[in-house]
Amino acid sequence: MLSSRFQSFVRAGVGRAVAAARVQRLSPNVLTVIGLGITLAAAVLIALDLLVPAGIVLLVAGSFDLLDGAVARVTGKVHRYGAFLDSTADRYGEGATYLGLLYLFLVREHHELQPFLIAAALAGSFLVSYVRARAQSLGFTCDGGWFARPERVVVTAIGLLTGQLTIVLWILAVLTNVTAGQRVLTVWRQYRAQLRQGGAGDGAEGRAAPAERPEAEPSPRPPGRGPAKPKLPEPRGL
C-alpha cells in the first residue's frame, strides 16, 4: 500500500543519515538482533495490557528494519546471510506480536472473536512472506500487494496507540490474506506470460512422469549353452 517511491525515499534518507553519523563499525546483523529484542519487548507489553507503551516500542523496533539495511548498504556489508537473518527475525518478531495479542484477548480478557481474527491475521502475514520467498526461489518477481510488513507494523502500532485493536485485527485478518492472493495472482500472470513467449515451462516439479517403456522379452539362448552369468554391478562413483 505504501508506494515504492515513498519507501525508496525513506530508505535513501535513512542511508544518508547513517552515512553522516559514521556508523561503519556497526554490524547490520547486530542491529537485526537488537530490533528483534525490542519487538519481543513490545509483545510482552501487549500481553500485560500496556498498549500505548507497546505501540511506541513497536514503532521503534520497526525503525530497525530500515536501519540495518541502510547500515549494510553504507558499509558494503550486504550479504545473503544478512538478508536471511533479517527475514527470519521478522517472522519471529511478528509471531511474538500476535502471541502477545492472543494472550491479551484469550487469557486476560476472555474474548471469543478476537483470537480467531489473530489466527487469520497470523496465517495471512506468514503466507505473504512465504509466497514471495517461494516465488523468488522459482525465478519469479513477487513484490507489492496491499499489506506487506511495513503496513502491518504501522497499522498494528496505530491500533495499540488508539485502543482500536478489534478494528485493526479485522483489517489485518482480511488484507493480509488478500495480499497473499495478490502475490499468487502476480506469479500466475508471469507464468502465463512465459508460456505465451515460449519461455521455460514447468521444472521437474509438476511434470508428469514419462510413460514406462514395455520391457523387452529376453531372446532365447542358443541350445547347448548354460544359463547366462549374472552381470556384476558397476562400481559407484565417488
Q: Each residue of 62-101: pLDDT tens digit?
A: 988 878 777 777 777 778 898 899 999 999 999 999 999 9
Placement of cell 511495513 in the chain? 150
Q: Is residue 210 part of a domain?
A: no
- Domain assignment of residue 19, yes or no: yes
Q: What CATH number has the domain bearing residue 31?
A: 1.20.120.1760
Residues 6+ apart with CB under 8 A from 31: 64, 67, 68, 71
| Cβ–Cβ under 8 Å, residues 142 and 131 | yes
**Overall number of domains in the chain:** 1
50: in domain: yes
Residue 171, in any domain of the structure:
yes
Rounded distance, CA 206 to CA 50, Å?
49
d(CA 92, CA 84) in angstroms, rounded, equals 13
The model carries a pTM of: 0.77
**Contact in structure between 69 and 174 (CB atoms under 8 Å):** no
Helix (H, G, I), strand (E, B) or coil at 187: helix
What percent of the chain is helix, strand and coil (3-state, nearest 5)? 70, 0, 30
The cell numbers describing 104, all together, are 491479551
- By C-alpha distance, which of 146, 150, 143 is closest to 175? 146
pLDDT of residue 23: 61
Please give the biggest Cα pair distance in the chain: 97
Which pLDDT does position 131 carry in this prediction? 96
Q: Is residue 2 part of a domain?
A: no
Domain that holds residue 173: 8-196
Determine the pLDDT at residue 232: 47
* Residue 74 within a domain: yes
Three-class secondary structure of residue 49 per DSSP = coil
| 3-state SS class at 30 | helix
In a domain, residue 178? The reply is: yes
Please indicate, yes or no, if residue 130 is contained in any of the structural domains. Answer: yes
Backbone angles phi, psi at 119, to 5 degrees: -60, -40
- What's the CA gap between 152 and 46, in Å, rounded? 16
Low pLDDT (below 50) residues in the chain: 3, 204-216, 230-238
pLDDT tens column, 27-48: 888 889 999 999 999 999 999 9
Cα–Cα distances (Å) from 59 to 35, 41, 113, 144, 218, in that order, read: 10, 12, 26, 22, 75
Q: How far is 130 from 56, CA to CA, in rounded Å?
A: 28
